[in-house]
Structures are given as C-alpha cells and as structure tokens.
Structure 1
Amino acid sequence: MAVSFVGRGMWPKIFLKICKLWVYIVAVGCLVMPLVVWIIIFIENTKCFSDTMGHYLGNDQWVYDQMDGDPNAGYVGNTNIPKHLGGPVFAAAFDVAMWIIILIAICADLFWKFPICRQFLESMWADGLYYTPDKTFKDIEFFFLVANAFLKIFIVVATGSQTYTGLYPKQDEPQLDTPLFCLYATLCLAGSIPFTIIALFYILHGMKMKEYKDELAAAEAAAAAKK
C-alpha cells in the first residue's frame, strides 16, 4: 500500500487528505462553536429573563424598567431579549432557528461524505446547498459552495451581533464570558470560510475525476469484452 501511495500522485493525495482533515476538524469545528454559543444564549436568556421578569410577556416598558432596574436599556438585564410584547418568545424562536441554520451549514460541508447530511438538507428544503445529480459528481457545478459561504456569513453576522447586545454577566466571577466567546466563535468561522471553499472545491473535484476514471475504465473493460 505504501508503494502504491508513492509516485506522481503522492502530493495531490496528501493535499486532498489535508483538505478533508480541514473540513472534518476546522470547518465543522468553527460551526460547532456558534452552535454552542446559541445554546448558551438560549439558556442564559431563558434563565435570566425568568429570574428577572418571571413570566411577564407584556408590552409595558415601565414594568420592564421597574423589574430589571435599568430604564436606559432596551433589553432585559443580561439577556438579548428586547423589552416588548412577546420578547422572550421571539428571542427563543430565533435561537432555535439559528441551531437549525448552523446544522444546515454543517451538513452542506459534509454532504459528500455522509448520506444523512444530504437527507437532512432535503428535509430542510435546502437542496441548493449541495449538488448530486443522479448521485454522481461527474456533472457537478460549484456554485453551491458560494451559497453555503453566504449562509455562513449570515451566521457570522447573527452570532457577532450577540457580542454587542445584552449578555453582560453580573456575577463577580462569571464562569463564561459569553460576549467574548461569541466574538471568538464569529472570528474563527469568518476566517475559515474562504479556506473551506477551497478545500471543498478540491475534495469534490477529486471525486469528480475519480468518477470520470471509473467510467473510462468501465467503458474500456466493456469494449475489451466485446472483442
């Protein structure tokens, strides 16, 4: 096996393995970080709002200001929940939506490896984030890589916005500096986007060329069998 690995194709194979490792570890890891951020935000928002406002879902600004003691803030203390009607409901819905969007982005990065990722994308009506006509790669086009990149940019913007609104721990020694973690998560994801596009391009191109070679070998074998 080692002998077959060495040759003209050695460096392309090594580069392809590096690209796959990048996607498996870095690209997916940079999406897992925002996913963790949004889970933390959901928990912190829900707990802090409940501790401060109880079950109040009204639209009376005076009630919010009296209960959280900060009349100058547009958000309930230490949350990203705005002081208006149904604020926690909308905030929770947005948090859950971000979980789904991030899972879609992860599946769009891994669809070429795991069939369940393709199935998840189909269930979310996100077919445009992958391309497998007749379950082959030989006719692949790469426009969907850019679409997935823009989806990640949206995740960056949405997650980064959490760094600047609410979520200021009131504890003297908070266990987790959520705004700082949000910032790290967004910077890591933003930095990984262009390199992930390049890595996926080479991975998919390699699979495309493999299918071409397999089809050519099958055609040659069929032609030889007819002689």
Structure 2
Amino acid sequence: MAHVVLAVVAEHNGGLAGIATTIMEKLGELFGGPGAGIANALDSIFPFLPSEVILPLAGVSAGQGHMTLASAIFWTTLGSIVGSQIMYYIGMMLGQERMRALAAKIPFVNPEEIDRTEAWFAKHGVKAVFFGRMVPVFRSLISIPAGIERIPVAKFIVFTGLGSLIWNTIFVVAGYKLGQNWQLVEQYAGILTKVVVGVVVLAMVYFVVTRVRRRQPATSRGRHSRR
C-alpha cells in the first residue's frame, strides 16, 4: 500500500522533488527500510537530492505500515552516516595540498585566508560537522572539509550520526504525522533552504566587493606613483 501512495505522489511532483520521490518510492518498494537508507545516503552524496523530500516520504511509508517509525529513523540515519563517510574519504583523497592548489586559482582568495580557514576547522571541525548536518545544502558538503582536515574517523561518525539523527527524526516524524499532506514539510523546508542559499550568496557578494575595494586603492597608488 505504501509504495502505491508514494507512486501517486511521484506522479504529481516535478523537478528534483519528483526525482527524489521516484528514487524513494522505487528503493522503498524493493528494499523497505534499507531502501530509505540508500536513498538518504544518496542525498548525503548528491546535494541536489533534497532530504526534505526523502525523509518525510520515509515517514509516510512508515505511517502506511511499510516499515516502523523507528526503522525509518534508524535506516535513514545509517544512510546519512554511510553517504557522509564516502564524502569524507573523497575529502581525504583530495587533501590539503590539492585544496590549496585549487583555492589559489580562485580570484580574490589568498594563502593567508586558506590558513585561517584550516586553523578554524581544525579547532571547531567537530562542531561544524554536528551542526552542519542540520543545515540545508551544507549538510551534504560538510563532510569534504572534514576529510581534508582528517578529523578522527570515530569522532566524525559519532557527530555525523548525532546531527543526522536529530535532522532525520524531525522530518521522518513530520511525514509520519502528516501522511499524504507531507508536502507541507517540503514547502517550509524549501523556505529555509532559500534563506540559507540567500545568506551564502550575500556573503559571497560581500567577500568579492571588499576584495575589489581593497585592490582599487593599491592600483590607484601605483598609477599615481608612475605619474
């Protein structure tokens, strides 16, 4: 019954939400609880797959008796850990030297800023992993710098699991309670995602503008001295 409900939902959703819905429906139909875990692992690897869709649908599936609520939370959290671990090892393989080489090619970024960022993450990396798992967009990306900075694997798994457990429980329970009205969760979560993206865009604009302004006086002084 649950996979029928999810299939109907999939037919009425387009874009990324539709893709996430279809993935969740197919995997849930084939594997049950572990399928929800696989779907959420994919969300941890590919940021464009919204957990705000996958997790409530796991709750809907639990509400329809396809799995228990505890099972939905367990498997989605395990999926988060597994997917994040893959991204962690990608970051580890990338390494600090390659990251420095890539960052050096980015306009307006200098080595001192990279050093400060690394120092900050070395000091607060565990907190960043924990809270980052509860922030849209960043929840899928935070594992890469954790791997680059080689946060101890055990700590990474523990704090990834704790942050994911909180995030997953909220959305799975919401889907479980709302049933076929789970789209309300996606709507409100979508607003939060837009706010986060908006803040990031503003921060990037501020960063670029301040760097340009710092370079302009130096350029003007150089021209003046040549005169």
How does the TM-score come out when normalised to structure 1? 0.29
Larger Rg: 1
More contact order relative to length (CA 8 Å, sep ≥ 6):
1
Say which structure is richer in helix: 2
